[in-house]
Amino acid sequence: MIRDALVWCLAVVAALGVAAAVVLSRRAKAIAANKDRSEAALTQRLSEADGRLATLRAELHQHRTDHAKTIQEAEEAAEDSTKAVLKGSARFLQSLAAEQLALLEEIQRKYGGHTVLGDLLEVGHANAQMARKAQGIAVMCGAPLGRRSRAASVYDVVRSAQGQIRNFRRVEIMQQTGLALKASAVSPVALAVAELLDNAASFSQQGSPIEVTFQRVQKNLCIVIDDAGVGMNDEERQKATALLSGQYRPRLSQLGNQPKFGFPVIGLLSQQYGFRVDVTGVSRYGGVRAVVLLPEELWTEEETAPVNEVQPVVEQPGAPAARPEPVARTAGGLPRRGARQVPIASVPDQDTVGLPHVAAGEDAGRAAGRSLGAFQRGTLSGRNLSAAPSEGSDDT
């Protein structure tokens, strides 16, 4: 009886267990199916979201590009308009400074014998510095440089540059060469050298020398500028090289409050006129060695006459207006000059005064009066009387 009951119980339990298992497995399947469905749905939504994100990203990128472009365009427009405004003013200043230099030279000639000349020379120095600045600004704004119509010795070009900086007496040009720069290269090289000299003077101690030498390296002519300054570190060297080669052109607005446009100006000039400038060397004093390398297109080996030698004296001894050069010596070993027909205005004749033994002529000249004209008349008349015979002992 009890066993039967137990068997039944067991059977019931087993049946219940089987039923439960079946139910559970069904539920599990249903849950799994559910899960699959929701997962699929989620994946789809995720991919949708991803798609939207990518679109938005692309749009954002587009906007950013547009933004940058607009800003760049605006900056360029601002730069261009700034340059245009500055260029007009710079050209005005440039031509005014050039005019003033020419005018001042005329005045210096006019008052050459007056004590005011000393002050005029100083004004000339200030003016030359101003002209350099005006030229620099003009170059930065894309205006052309004032040009020279005559070739000049490289020595004179460096002297021209020397005159354009404040402490120009610190510059020592150690040698002279017969090499000349072609007319087209005179202005740009002078300005580039002036900027290098100014840089050398600014970054070295007051009073320390700045030495300029010339070297011929293969087909190039080098102007070498050595200063006794502190030199540059690697970063400064890299920056300077980028500026000088013209690779990096800073905007006007990037030049700052105390604009340093020396190197950018040199960079522009060297690209325009085809020379190279390098400042990475070390000078013999441990400062910077700047080298301007001029290719053979820019210079010649011809010797040029000094600028102010308008009328070469030695080459035309027979010209009536020129003073005849001493061609012979008197019996006493003193220099004697040839006879002159036409007296040079305002330049007194010193033939007889230079010879102590023609005292009669000398005294006659002095007695004739204080003015130079009278002096000259007296000398001439004195020579007619006594100088000619006294010199004539070895005359042919």
Applying the rule CB under 8 A, the residues between 142 and 171 that interact with another protein are 142-150, 152, 155-157, 159-160, 162-163, 168-169
Stretch in the footprint of another protein (CB under 8 A) among 66-74, 119-127, 242-250, 275-283: 119-127
First to last CA, the chain: 183
**Smallest gap, in angstroms, from Cβ of residue 45 to another protein?**
56
Binding-residue pattern over the window 298 to 337 for another protein, x denoting contact by CB under 8 A = --------xxxxxx-xx--------x-xx-------xx--
**60: which 2 tokens?**
């954002």
Q: Between residues 73 and 309, which has the closer beta carbon with respect to another protein?
A: 309
**Smallest gap, in angstroms, from Cβ of residue 54 to another protein?**
42
Binding-residue pattern over the window 40 to 79 for another protein, x denoting contact by CB under 8 A = ----------------------------------------
**Smallest gap, in angstroms, from Cβ of residue 259 to another protein?**
21
Q: Between residues 118 and 256, which has the closer beta carbon with respect to another protein?
A: 118
**142: which 2 tokens?**
């894309």
Cα 118 to Cα 114, 121, 125, 129: the distances in Å are: 8, 5, 11, 18
Burial class from Cβ neighbours inside 10 Å (0-12, 13-18, 19+) for residue 157 reads: buried
Judged by CB under 8 A, the chain residues 87 through 106 that form the site for another protein are 87, 91, 94-95, 98, 101-102, 104-105
Element (H, E) at 24: helix 2-110
**Smallest gap, in angstroms, from Cβ of residue 224 to another protein?**
19
Among 22, 30, 31, 84, binds another protein (CB under 8 A): 84
**Smallest gap, in angstroms, from Cβ of residue 263 to another protein?**
23
Element (H, E) at 126: helix 117-140
Among 86, 90, 93, 124, binds another protein (CB under 8 A): 124
Q: How far apart are CA 182 and CA 38, in angstroms?
A: 86
Burial class from Cβ neighbours inside 10 Å (0-12, 13-18, 19+) for residue 270 reads: buried
Burial class from Cβ neighbours inside 10 Å (0-12, 13-18, 19+) for residue 196 reads: buried
Judged by CB under 8 A, the chain residues 169 through 198 that form the site for another protein are 169, 176, 186-187, 190
Among 122, 297, 302, 395, binds another protein (CB under 8 A): 122
Q: Between residues 157 and 228, which has the closer beta carbon with respect to another protein?
A: 157
**Smallest gap, in angstroms, from Cβ of residue 330 to another protein?**
10
**239: which 2 tokens?**
């920056």
Among 307, 5, 331, which residue's Cα sits nearest to residue 183? 307
Q: How far apart are CA 268 and CA 249, in angstroms?
A: 8
Strands 180-181 and 152-153: antiparallel
Judged by CB under 8 A, the chain residues 334 through 393 that form the site for another protein are 334-335, 344, 346-348, 350, 353-354, 366, 372, 375
Q: Give the residues across from 213 on adjacent strands.
A: 224
**137: which 2 tokens?**
């600004």
Q: Between residues 12 and 116, which has the closer beta carbon with respect to another protein?
A: 116
Judged by CB under 8 A, the chain residues 230 through 269 that form the site for another protein are none
